[in-house]
Amino acid sequence: MSLPAKGCVLDVGRGTGLSRSLLPEGWKYFCLDPDPQKLEGFYAKFPNDQVVQASACEIPLNDESFDLCIMIAVSHHLTSEEFRTALLEVKRLLRPRGMFMLMDAVWNPANLRGRFLWSLDRGSYPKTGNDLEKQISQLFTIQSTRYWKVHHEYAMFSCLKKDVNA
């Protein structure tokens, strides 16, 4: 997935702003997180970007405002119902043919190291890669999926907003 030189991105739940440096300078960046402390730290590093203190399930921004939405390490903090609501919010916020990227650790009970790491994580709702793919594919066209393992198992989905006529 290649990015144009300019655009508008919403980073959902990534209050630290670690994804900011991955985007071209011409991109307008909105950092959304419910944690004011994380947003203060982000704003101190990136004062020219926007911060939005809100839940991924109720985002106070205008419809079709973004070319790209990113959600990294968020889904395991949301129940299945909350995750569906967050996906609906992302879809609402994306412009037609907008891009959506999701990355998170995934649940695999056969992975002993992963189970140990999940026991230490604050996220209480780990999902399997199949669960994520099923929910995402209902609202987005998945362009590519990648899985890898470094102690945890991870999944990354690169998607496009589904055409309403499709």
Residue 64 falls inside a structural domain:
yes
pTM over 0.85: yes
The enclosing domain of 68 has a CATH number of 3.40.50.150
Residue 2 falls inside a structural domain:
no
Burial of 34 (0-12, 13-18, 19+ CB in 10 A): middle
Residue 55 falls inside a structural domain:
yes
**In degrees rounded to 5, what are phi and psi of residue 69?**
-120, 135
Specify the pLDDT at position 69.
97
Whether 166 shows a pLDDT value over 80: the answer reads no
Specify the pLDDT at position 164.
66
Q: Write the pLDDT tens digit of every residue in 65-120.
A: 999 999 999 999 999 999 999 999 999 999 998 999 999 999 998 888 888 888 88
Q: How many CB atoms lie under 10 A from the CB of residue 156?
A: 16
Q: Which domain holds residue 67?
A: 7-161
Q: Write the pLDDT tens digit of every residue in 8-64.
A: 999 999 878 888 888 888 899 999 999 999 999 999 999 999 999 999 999 999 999
Q: Position of tokens 């203060």?
A: 40
Q: Position of tokens 């990355």?
A: 103
Specify the pLDDT at position 35.
93
Residue 17: which region, alpha, beta or left (left: phi > 0; alpha: psi -120 to 50)? left
Burial of 43 (0-12, 13-18, 19+ CB in 10 A): middle
Q: How many whole angstroms separate alpha carbon 35 and alpha carbon 53?
A: 7
Residue 120 falls inside a structural domain:
yes
Q: Are 67 and 5 in contact (CB under 8 A)?
A: no
Alpha helices in 23-103 (DSSP H): 36-45, 80-93
Residue 12 falls inside a structural domain:
yes
For residue 56, the Cα-to-chain-centroid distance in whole angstroms is 9
Q: Is 67 helix (H, G, I), strand (E, B) or coil?
A: strand
Specify the pLDDT at position 80.
96
Specify the pLDDT at position 129.
96
Residue 142 falls inside a structural domain:
yes
Specify the pLDDT at position 1.
65
**149 confidence band (pLDDT: 50, 70, 90):** very high
Residue 16 falls inside a structural domain:
yes
User: How do strand 152-161 and strand 7-12 relate by DSSP bridges?
Assistant: unpaired
Residue 166 falls inside a structural domain:
no
For residue 140, the Cα-to-chain-centroid distance in whole angstroms is 13
Total tally of structural domains belonging to the chain = 1
